[in-house]
Structure 1
Amino acid sequence: MSQQTVVVLNGPNLNLLGEREPEIYGSDTLADIEALCRKAASLAGLDVDFRQSNHEGALIDAVHEVRKSAVGIVINAGAYTHTSIALRDALAALSIPVFEVHLSNVHRREEFRHHSYLSAVSDGVISGCGPSGYAYAIARISELIDDRH
C-alpha cells in the first residue's frame, strides 16, 4: 500500500447493493461505488484500497492492518455502526482521518439506526447522500491531508 492510500471499508450486506432494498439503498452495486471511489481518489491524487466484509472481526483486522500505512479511512460499517464497540475502539486508536458514511439517511429510518458507536471517533459523518457520500469523504480526507502538510 502506498503512503497516499485511502482505505474504504464496507460492512455486512453491502455486497448485496443493487439487489437489497433498492428503494432505500439505490440501484448502484458495490462495484459501482468502488469505481466512484477510485475516480474520486484519482482526482485527489490518492489511491484506494477498497474492501468489504460481512464479518466484524475482519473489519477490525483491516483497521489494525492499515493503521500506519493509510492516510485515511472511509467506513460504511452497515449494521455494525449501531452495535460494534469493538470496531469503534479499533477506529479510536487511529491517528488518521476517519469518515463514517451511510447511503441512506439513518435518522429518517428505524430508531435503532439513530445511534452510531463510530460517530464519536470519526472526523465526519456523511449520511443520506447515496454513493456520492463516499466521494465527499475521500475529497475531505484529501483536504485534511493537505492541511497537515
Structure 2
Amino acid sequence: MTDAASASVYPRTSSKRHRIALIEGPNTSNMGKRTKSVYGEIGTLDELKAFCVEVGARFGVEIVTFSSNHEGDILEFVHETADEMDAYIVNPAGLTVNGMATLHALVETYKPFVEIHFANVTAAPGHPRAVPVGPWDSLFTPYATGVSMGLREHSYVGAILSLTLALDDEGFLGAKAAHS
C-alpha cells in the first residue's frame, strides 16, 4: 500500500458510499514509460487504477475505472454509466484540447466532474511539472467542477477526496440539482 492510500481519512459528513467513475483518456496506456519527474513512479495503467480504487476505499467511495485510447469508447462508457454514477473524474489526456464529444457527454450527465492531470498542463515550457508539448488550453476546464493537476499520482488522491467531500456537502454538490 502506498503512503497516500494509507493516509488518515479526512472526516466526512456523510456515510453514503458514492460511486465515482475514473476515466483515463488516450495516451495514459503509456504509463510508466513517460518522464518520471512529471508522471511519477506508477509503472502501469493497471497500477494507477488499483491505486485509485484503494484510495477511494479508504475514503469510503467506490471508484469505477475505465480507460481507452479511443474517444468513441469513452463516450459509450459515459452514456452507459450516467444513471449509476454520482460523479466523474476524467484525465482527458490526449483529448484535453480536442475532446469536444467527451466534454459534451460529461456535461450532459448533469453530474459533477473533476478534470485531472499528472502534469501541470498550463505550465510554461521548461517548468518541471509541465507537459512536454505544452502548455495546453483545456476544453474541459471551463466546464469542470474542479481541476487537480501537476501533482503526479497525488493529483488523483486530491481529486477523489475533494470530490467525495463536495458530494457529501448538501449545500454544494450533494444538493438536488435544479435540472433534475
Please indicate, yes or no, whether the TM-score normalized by the shorter chain is above 0.5.
yes
How far off is 1:95 after superposition?
2.0
Distance 1:141 1:127 in 2: 14
Partner of residue 13, structure 1: 27
User: Structure 1, residues 108-148: CA drift from partner, whole Å, max 9, x if none?
Assistant: 24675421111122100111011111111111121122113
- Considering only aligned residues, what root-mean-square deviation do their CA atoms show, in Å? 1.8
For the 8 Å contact 2:26–2:92, the answer to whether it is kept is: yes
Equivalent of 2:144 in 122, 140, 147 = 122
Greater radius of gyration (CA): 2
* CA–CA distance in structure 2, aligned partners of residues 57 and 81 of structure 1: 15
Cα distance between partner residues in 1 of 2:142 and 2:109 = 13
CA distance in 2, matches of 1:23, 1:140: 24
CA distance in 2, matches of 1:34, 1:46: 14
Partner of 1:43: 58
Structure 2 portions without partners, runs of 5+: 1-16, 124-129, 175-180
CA distance in 1, matches of 2:104, 2:51: 28
SS at match of 1:12: coil
Partner residue of 1:147? Answer: 169
| Range 24-33 or range 59-68, more displaced | 24-33
Structure 1 residue 43, shift from structure 2 partner: 1.8
| 1:21 Cα offset (Å) | 3.4
Alignment match of 1:88 (pick from 76, 80, 103) = 103
Asked if residue 30 in structure 1 is aligned to residue 45 in structure 2, the reply is yes
The one-letter amino acid of 1:25's match is: Y
State whether residues 18 and 164 of structure 2, in contact with CA within 8 Å, keep that contact through their aligned partners in structure 1.
no
Q: CA deviation at 1:96?
A: 1.8
Counterparts of 2:140 and 2:115 in 1: how far apart (Å)?
7
What SS does the corresponding residue of 1:114 show, helix, strand or coil?
coil
Q: Which sits farther off after the overlay, 53-62 or 26-35? A: 26-35
Q: TM-score, normalised by structure 1?
A: 0.89
- Structure 2 residue corresponding to 1:68, chosen from 83, 86, 101: 83
Tell me, yes or no, if the aligned pair for 1:17 and 1:27 is still in contact at 8 Å: no
Q: Which has the higher helix share?
A: 1
Tell me the amino acid that sits aligned with residue 89 of structure 1: H
The CA deviation at 1:23 is 4.2
